[in-house]
Structure 1
C-alpha cells in the first residue's frame, strides 16, 4: 500500500513538473503582423453648411446641418503603405435654412424672397444624395500603430436621390418633393486633416444646386455650399 502511494505521488509530481515546463505565456505567443494592412475603410461625418454664391437678397437662417456615411476601398501605392488611393460610395443628407421660399409645384416651382416683415415658422430645402468620393491619402501609420496623423484630399460626385422643400408661415404649409429645378449631379472637392479618430473636413461643391431654369425675377439662381465638420474614419 505504501509503495502504491509513493508511486502515485512520484507520477503526479513528474506530470506537474512537465506541465509547468510547457505552460504558455504571452511572451511565448507569436503575434502575426499584417504587412498588407488597409486603413480607414468606413467613414461617418457631421457638418455645418454655409451657403455661398447666393443671390444678394438671400440670407441664411439658423443652422444648416448635414451628415454622411459610406465605405472607401483603401489601396496603398507604396511599400510602406503611407500613401494610398481610396475610391468609395456613400450617402449624404443636407438641409439649408434660408429666406428664399419655394412654392408652386414640383413641375412649376416659384421662388420668392420672404420679406423681413413676414414671420414664418419654417423655410428650408433638403437633399438626400448618393456620393462617390475618390481620396488621395497620406498617413504615418504602421502595421502596429492605430493612432496616426492623416491628410486626405479628394473629389466627390453626388447624385440626387430625393429632395424636399418646406415653407410654413403658421397659416399655410407648402411641401414640394422632387423639384425639377434641382441639379441631379453635384461636383466638389474636399480635404480631411486629423489625428486618430478626430478629423476636420472641409468640402466645397463647385456647381450650383439649381438648374438654369430656377429664377427669381427672371434672374437665374446660383447657390452652392461650403461644408465644415468632423469626419470619423473606421477600419
Structure 2
C-alpha cells in the first residue's frame, strides 16, 4: 500500500513538472535589441522655410519583451536606447552672447540641426511567431519618450562655418511609433506629439513649430 502511494506521488510530481516546463517554454521572448535608420521629415515649416539635403536619423537600444499570453504572440516591450537625428533646411541659427537668433537664407550652403537623445520606447507587440520559428510577421505600435542630451546647430556659408550648442529645444519629447514587417526588414515610423523647439525660438516674428516625422527601417535582433 505504501509503495502504491509513493508511486502515485512520483507520477503526479513528474506530470506536474512536465506541465510546468511546457508552460514555461511557451513563454518565449523576442526582439531584445533594435537598430534603426530613418529619413527625418520636418513638418510645420514657417513661411519661406524648406527642407534640404538628407536629414537622417540613427537609433539603437535594448527592449525587454514581456509576453501577455501563453503562446507568446502578444507582448509588451519596454526599452531604452540612444538616437541621433539631423535636420537640414534653409533655417539658419546664429548666436551672439547668450542670445540665439534665426533667419531664413536660401543662399546658405548647408544648415543643420543635430540632436542626441536617450529614448524610452513602450510597445504593444503582436507577432505570429513560435518558440522555434524566427521568421514571422510583426506589428508593433506604441509611444516613445525621449530626453535631449544635447543639440548642435551648424551652418556653412561660403568660407564661413559656424556651430554652437543649441539650448532652444524641447528637452522632453514624445511621439507615436509603428513598426511592421516580416523577418529582418521592418518599416518604422515615428510621429512627434511635441514640437522640436521649446516655444522661445522664432523667425521673422513666427514661432518655430517644427514637428518631426521619421520614416525608415528598423531591425530587431534576439
Whether the 8 Å CA contact 1:186–1:207 is kept in 2: the answer is yes
TM-score using structure 2 length: 0.86
Who is 2:31 aligned against?
40
Q: Does 1:141 align with 2:129?
A: yes
Q: Name the residue aligned to 1:62.
A: 53
Q: Find out whether 1:200 has 2:191 as its counterpart.
A: no
Q: Which has the higher strand share?
A: 2
8 Å contact from structure 2 (residues 168, 201) kept in 1: yes
In structure 2, the residue matched to 1:77 is 68
Aligned residue for 2:219?
A: 232
Separation in 2, partners of 1:98, 1:234: 34
Matching residue of 2:92:
101
Specify the alignment match of 1:152 in structure 2.
140
| Cα drift, residue 39 of structure 1 | 0.3
Equivalent in 142, 150, 154 of residue 162 of structure 1: 150
Q: CA deviation at 1:173?
A: 1.5
Paired positions, count: 200
Shift of 1:228: 0.6
CA contact (8 A) 1:106 1:180 kept: no
Deviation at 1:79, TM superposition (A): 1.1
Shift of 1:217: 2.4
C-alpha separation in 1, matches of 2:97 and 2:126: 44
Is 1:171 aligned to 2:152, yes or no? no
* Shift, 1:162, TM fit: 1.2
After superposition, the C-alpha distances for 1:186-211 in whole angstroms (9 at most, x for unaligned) are 11001000000110001101111111
Structure 2: gaps spanning 5 or more residues:
1-21
Structure 1 counterpart of 2:197: 210
Spell out the pairing of 1:20-31 with structure 2 (5 A cutoff): none
1:59-103: per-residue Cα shift (whole Å, max 9, x none)?
Answer: 000110111000110000111110000110001101000000001
SS in 1 for 2:133: coil
Deviation at 1:130, TM superposition (A): 0.2
Task: State TM-score, norm by structure 1.
Answer: 0.82
| CA contact 1:188–1:206 (8 Å) conserved in 2 | yes
1:131 equivalent in structure 2: 119
Alpha-carbon distance in structure 1 between the residues aligned to 2:171 and 2:205: 22
List gaps (5 residues or longer) in structure 1: 1-31
Cα distance 1:106–1:197, how it changes in 2: closer, same or farther (>3 A)? farther
- CA distance in 1 between partners of 2:92 and 2:148 (Å): 21
- Post-superposition offset of 1:218: 2.6
